Amino acid sequence: MTAPTVEAAIHELMDFAWNHVYDLLEERGLLGDGLFVEEYTGIQSWVEDLTRCTVVHSRAVAVLFVDTRPVDAIVFPHDILGADNPKSFFSVPG
């Protein structure tokens, strides 16, 4: 179980971009049986210059947000946790 503030942050970010997250997961073949926000229990966030990067993950999938926009989704690599550059695991446009 996650702390209430972590859970609220995950839900707020995922709910804000629900359709885009769904489309990303579908495009990458990661949708599975559907998108259940409750399965996303981890969050990692950092600032690069003036941009906030956030990774939200379940046991199986990780989604990268740049500010509040989801930009990529991948199978969750557990070595992303504590990585010096978590963004390097993703394909980031531009």
Tens of pLDDT, residues 32-84: 766 787 888 899 999 998 999 999 999 999 999 999 999 999 999 989 988 99
Dihedral, CA of residue 53, residue 26, residue 21 and residue 50, to nearest 10: 30
So what's the pLDDT on residue 50? 92
Which tokens sit at 31? 């949708």
Please state the domain extents for the chain.
4-86
Q: Where on the phi/psi map is residue 27: left (φ > 0), alpha (ψ -120 to 50), or beta?
A: alpha
Alpha carbon distance 67, 79 (integer Å): 23
Q: What is the pLDDT of residues 16-27, one digit of tens each?
A: 898 999 999 999
> How high is the pLDDT of residue 5?
86
Nearest to 64 by CA among 29, 20, 8: 20
How far apart are the C-alpha atoms of 92 and 79, rounded to whole Å? 19
pLDDT at residue 11 in the model = 87
d(CA 29, CA 60): 12
Q: What is the pLDDT of residue 2?
A: 58
Q: What is the mean pLDDT of residues 1-5?
A: 67
